[in-house]
Structure 1
Amino acid sequence: MVKLFCASILYKAPGKANWLSSAYDLSTFNFFQRGSAQEFMSFVSKTIVERTHTCSRQSVKEGDYMCHVYVRADNLAGVILSDQEYPHRVAHTLITKVLEEFAAKFIPSSWSSLAENSAAFPQLNSYLAKYQNPREADAMTKIQEELDETKIILHSTIEAVLERGEKLDDLVSKSEGLSVQSKAFYKTARKTNSCCSLG
């Protein structure tokens, strides 16, 4: 069954991305892995937003997962983490919709000053639930066919979006945003290669 795991909104400031709001569905993860899975999804989302050019979209494959990213001209960024079966166009349609609603609710001048994950945007949870079934979601968003015309850059690994010489293993070990448990979770996942880097 196709699955959405995470929807996030970030603001891409020079050199880094700031969290504005996020929602997770970790029901497919073992109870004891959920905290580490969520932390690692946040880390990957932030890393990819920081390495996505303004005014561009990309879908990055990492193990069994896809990370769909869109950074708008105003540097408001959206990320959807899904399994590989989830249709890219539906994920990008959802990102566009979520960012438009967020921008209508919060004035752009407040984005850079909002405290980490402090933007009250409960719509993110309802969209994450509503879009779990891409067929239903797609029926609702057929009008947004113009997204088909939009170029979405596809990458087969996260390493493809990192800067030359950067390695995900190094970023994970240096990260201050990941707990010891999450780093161990990542290493175990990498070794078993069963669920690669996101969980």
Structure 2
Amino acid sequence: MKIYALSILEVSSSQSTVLASAQDLSSFSFYERGTVSEFLNFFTRTVAEHTPQGQRQSVTENNYVFHIYNRGGEEQLVAVMVTDGEYPGRPAFSVLTKAIETFSSKVPRSSYSNPASIPFPELKVYLAQYQDPRNADAIMRVQQELDETKIILHQTIESVLARGEKLDDLIVRSDALGAQSKRFYQTAKKQNSCCVVM
């Protein structure tokens, strides 16, 4: 998964102006970077101009996915992230929302007329920080933790069974379980004997 570019644009009357941009083209050879940068800039402006206000969309071109968030409103700000096809959409839109909100709060609208003078180093920070989409999306992070927990539990049960101990023998020998709990376990085992757990 890779983020290639992150940009903030002002779009008015179907014209766009790049106000801030950051790119990571380190995966391309030195000689390709200029051409790739031009391609990304051209398509970034094009998709920004063709995304209606208040809309989010993802557009695929070759091996690139352009995630666009047109916040609209008085400022007419649009954020665009260019990724490879593997980068998930939900974290991309989380980053775009964060980038556009931070830009809006830190950069006065009066400076939009001179984009070359707009200092916004946060885009470079976001570009580096969110290369791993789990950093942008709490749900993905929780899902990964759950998956890791399932693996650990699965390995633990397998390791107990690998030592030659059977779960049935442990239940029978357990003094901690009352007679009713043991009967419940045996009844449940009989009812589920037709099913195979994978």
Q: Structure 1 counterpart of 2:108, which letter? A: I
Following the alignment from structure 2 to structure 1, what is the Cα–Cα distance between the partners of residues 84 and 26?
14
- Alignment correspondent of 1:81: 82
Question: Who wins on radius of gyration, i.e. which is larger?
Answer: 2
Structure-2-length-normalised TM-score: 0.66
Q: Structure 2 counterpart of 1:101, which letter? A: T
Any residues of structure 2 matched to 1:33-112 within 5 Å, and which? 33-74=32-73, 75-111=76-112
Following the alignment from structure 1 to structure 2, what is the Cα–Cα distance between the partners of residues 110 and 14?
19
Q: Deviations over 1:125-180 (max 9, x none)?
A: 010000001123323998xxxxxxxxxxxxxxxxxxxxxxxxxxxxxxxxxxxxxx
Any residues of structure 2 matched to 1:113-152 within 5 Å, and which? 113-115=113-115, 117-139=116-138
Percent identity (aligned):
42
Q: Structure 2 counterpart of 1:60, which letter? A: V
- Alignment correspondent of 2:7: 8
| Corresponding residue SS for 2:98 | helix
Q: Structure 1 counterpart of 2:136, which letter? A: A
| Corresponding residue SS for 1:86 | coil
Following the alignment from structure 1 to structure 2, what is the Cα–Cα distance between the partners of residues 21 and 27?
19
What residue ranges of structure 2 are gaps of 5+ in the alignment? Answer: 142-198
Report how far residue 114 of structure 1 moved. Answer: 2.6
Greater length-normalized contact order (CA 8 Å, ≥ 6 residues apart) = 1
Q: Structure 2 counterpart of 1:8, which letter? A: S
Following the alignment from structure 2 to structure 1, what is the Cα–Cα distance between the partners of residues 93 and 117?
24
Structure-1-length-normalised TM-score: 0.66
| Corresponding residue SS for 2:26 | coil
- Alignment correspondent of 2:29: 30
Report how far residue 118 of structure 1 moved. Answer: 3.4
4+ runs of 1 displaced by more than 6 Å? Answer: none
Report how far residue 62 of structure 1 moved. Answer: 1.1
What residue ranges of structure 1 are gaps of 5+ in the alignment? Answer: 143-199
Q: Deviations over 1:20-45 (max 9, x none)?
A: 00000001111100011011100000
CA contact (8 A) 2:14 2:50 kept: no
Q: Structure 2 counterpart of 1:80, which letter? A: M
CA contact (8 A) 1:20 1:118 kept: no
Any residues of structure 2 matched to 1:187-198 within 5 Å, and which? none
Following the alignment from structure 1 to structure 2, what is the Cα–Cα distance between the partners of residues 41 and 73?
22
Which structure's residues are more often helix, by fraction?
Answer: 2
